[in-house]
């Protein structure tokens, strides 16, 4: 069983133009660090459109071709962050629901809403009850703490409805995103106050990974996913293996999930390649670091299936 627990289905109109410009900036800088120069206009024209897949055709095609059994798709609400009035959040959530309805065996679609929206609770409740979405993704780096009273209104509703939470942790994106909201320590209140909520801290909290692993070792309702660490596997494979080993040692093998953050890093490493890299760890890990087949199978799909209540 191979489950990508962290994927974003994206369309241009679902996100503010300012955000697309920051994505272009990140690509330009990322390419530069690989020794490649590309002008922003060129990146916008040639690379960014390949991310847009509003109906999920490219995603389903990739899953079918590469044996990816299930994908959890996480929507994002960046509108308040950019102070724009255009709101296509509703369209985004409907598209997520439509893809899940079309491929119920393959797609698990989550809802989202910026917790600062006055009607955030209604948005999420409708998305779960009427659209059939199966969890909630929060992106605090847009400007709210996950333990803020405004977020708690939303979490209360999710708790009542028995929904799991994925919370992006770690530094996320350039200004106007604020890294402080991504510190995983704020999840501690949520783990304690909502003991039956399954919480996945996205991205192993990047630079805050040690705080996450040590802080949540004994908070058994908190898991993490390994999405967006693909660059580290390329630039410093030993470091990646060390961090993953730490995650498994502190959280236990049942609380680490495979995820990619694709399509954003697909150009660097397709989903299948990252999954194969994880699968090969028992054979290929650097000297002194070991992984078992059992651990690898749990990461690649078993854990997500259990946490999301899927029949495997």
Query: Which residue ranges make up the site for Zn ion (CB under 5 A)?
Result: 261
CB-wise, 112 or 295, nearer to Zn ion? 112
239 near 224, Cβ under 8 Å?
A: no
- Closest CB 26 distance from Zn ion, rounded Å: 13
- Closest CB 168 distance from Zn ion, rounded Å: 6
265 near 230, Cβ under 8 Å?
A: yes
Q: Which residues of 61-99 are buried (b: 16+ CB within 10 A; e: fewer)?
A: ebbeeeebbbbbbbbbbbbbbbeeeeebbeebbebbbbb
- Closest CB 301 distance from Zn ion, rounded Å: 19
CB-wise, 240 or 264, nearer to Zn ion? 264
CB-wise, 222 or 285, nearer to Zn ion? 222
47 near 267, Cβ under 8 Å?
A: yes
5 near 259, Cβ under 8 Å?
A: yes
- Closest CB 223 distance from Zn ion, rounded Å: 15
CB-wise, 62 or 261, nearer to Zn ion? 261
CB-wise, 271 or 295, nearer to Zn ion? 271
CB-wise, 125 or 261, nearer to Zn ion? 261
Between strands 256-257 and 222-225, the pairing is: parallel
- Closest CB 201 distance from Zn ion, rounded Å: 12
- Closest CB 41 distance from Zn ion, rounded Å: 26
CB-wise, 183 or 261, nearer to Zn ion? 261
| For residue 207, cis peptide bond before it (omega within 30 degrees of 0) | no
First to last CA, the chain: 7
- Closest CB 203 distance from Zn ion, rounded Å: 7
């Amino acid at each position: 069983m191979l489950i990508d627990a962290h994927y974003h289905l994206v369309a241009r109109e679902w996100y503010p133009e300012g955000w697309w410009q920051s994505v272009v900036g990140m690509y330009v800088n990322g390419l530069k660090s690989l020794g490649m120069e590309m002008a922003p206009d060129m990146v916008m024209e040639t690379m960014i459109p390949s991310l847009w897949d509003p109906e999920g055709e490219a995603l389903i095609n990739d899953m079918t071709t590469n044996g990816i059994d299930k994908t959890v798709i996480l929507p994002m609400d960046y509108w308040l962050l950019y102070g724009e009035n255009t709101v296509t959040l509703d369209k985004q959530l409907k598209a997520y629901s439509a893809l899940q309805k079309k491929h119920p065996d393959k797609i698990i679609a989550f809802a989202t809403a910026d917790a600062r929206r006055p009607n955030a609770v209604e948005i999420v409740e409708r998305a779960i009850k009427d659209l059939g979405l199966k969890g909630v993704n929060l992106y605090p780096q847009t400007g709210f703490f996950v333990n803020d009273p405004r977020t708690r209104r939303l979490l209360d509703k999710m708790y009542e409805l028995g929904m799991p939470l994925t919370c992006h942790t770690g530094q996320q994106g350039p200004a106007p995103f604020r890294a402080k909201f991504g510190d995983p320590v704020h999840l501690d209140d949520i783990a304690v106050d909502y003991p039956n909520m399954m919480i996945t801290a996205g991205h192993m909290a990047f630079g805050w990974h040690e705080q996450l692993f040590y802080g949540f070792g004994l908070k058994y309702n908190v898991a993490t996913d390994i999405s967006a660490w693909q660059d580290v596997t390329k630039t410093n494979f030993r470091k990646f293996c060390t961090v993953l080993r730490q995650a498994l040692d502190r959280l236990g093998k049942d609380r680490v999930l495979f995820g990619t953050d694709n399509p954003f890093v697909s150009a660097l490493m397709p989903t299948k390649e990252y999954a194969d890299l994880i699968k090969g760890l028992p054979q290929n890990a650097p000297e002194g670091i070991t992984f078992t087949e059992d651990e690898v199978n749990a990461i690649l799909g078993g854990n997500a299936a259990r946490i999301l209540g899927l029949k495997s």
